[in-house]
Structure 1
Amino acid sequence: MANAKYGRHLPAFILLFLTKGSTYGSALLNQMEAEIPYNFSDGPAVYRALNELEKEKAVISQWDTSAKGAAKKFYTITGKGMQLLCEFKTDMEQRKKNMEFFLNEFEKTK
């Protein structure tokens, strides 16, 4: 995922939201836009990340053709996706500590 053209942690947010249940891409994007305080992702970025996660077997997909209209591709997190989510959590915890250090040190400059 290192070469992806979106935010470093977009896949982490996608996996986190998929722990709430299987969903399709546009519903996932809408949910992220509604719930993430500073969401910088867009539709193409979310779909690129979903494709990469699927290649890594962190998510699986299934087409739903039961409703009228266009078929929808539903995504579900896998066991490997849960492991990856835990790795993202560790990474974010470390980054959070560095950010807190920065903010504390910055306040001392005033």
Structure 2
Amino acid sequence: MKNKATKRQNYRHTPAFILLFLAKKDLYGAALLNALKEEMPNYSIDSAVIYRTLQELEEEGAVLSYWETDISGPAKKWYKITEKGYDKLKQLRQDILLRKRIFDYFIEEYETLK
């Protein structure tokens, strides 16, 4: 079981992953959660975090939502990335690349201890 600190670290990059998936195609919340779980099975996340992050991204103008009622079943709230969202995704990519270099350094140095 993961501790709270590990979960917070995972959630830190949730906006990046949400924007990445929305850059590929519009999705509704449950479909987004399923896509995350399918593509990244080791990324532990729950629906509350997804919906909270979508709301924050919408408030920032990084995503827009719309209701789809033409499909069978109940109406679904879909999300799409905006130009501001693409800009944010680019910034998040830079942040992740920097962190990756830091983690790569750690792993390389750790390997020298063996």
TM over 0.5: yes
Question: Could you list the runs of 5+ residues in structure 1 that have no partner in the other structure?
Answer: none
Percentage identity across paired residues of the two chains: 46
Deviations 1:44-92, CA, capped at 9 Å, x for gaps: 1000000000000000000111123221001000000000000000000
TM-score by length of 1: 0.92
Q: 1:53 aligns with which of 51, 57, 77?
A: 57
Counterpart for residue 94 of structure 1: 98
Matches within 5 A, 1:1-110: 7-110=11-114
Structure 1 residue 6 displacement after superposition:
6.5
Checking the alignment, whether the CA contact within 8 Å between 1:23 and 1:76 is kept in structure 2 is yes
**Matches of 2:95 and 2:109 in 1, distance apart?**
21
- The one-letter amino acid of 2:27's match is T
Using the TM superposition, give the Cα deviation of residue 38 of structure 1 relative to its aligned residue in structure 2, in angstroms: 2.1
Output the aligned Cα RMSD.
1.6
Q: What's the secondary structure of 2:73's corresponding residue?
A: coil
8 Å contact from structure 1 (residues 6, 45) kept in 2: no
Partner secondary structure for residue 39 of structure 1 = coil
Inter-partner Cα distance in structure 2 for 1:5 and 1:73: 27
The structure 1 segments of at least 4 consecutive aligned residues displaced by more than 2 Å after TM superposition are: none
Structure 2: 5+ residue stretches without partners: 1-7
How far the C-alpha of 1:5 sits from its partner, in A, is 9.6
SS in 2 for 1:94: helix
Say if 1:65 and 1:40 are closer, same or farther in 2 by CA, change over 3 A.
Answer: same
User: 1:23, 1:74 within 8 Å by CA — same for their partners in 2?
Assistant: yes
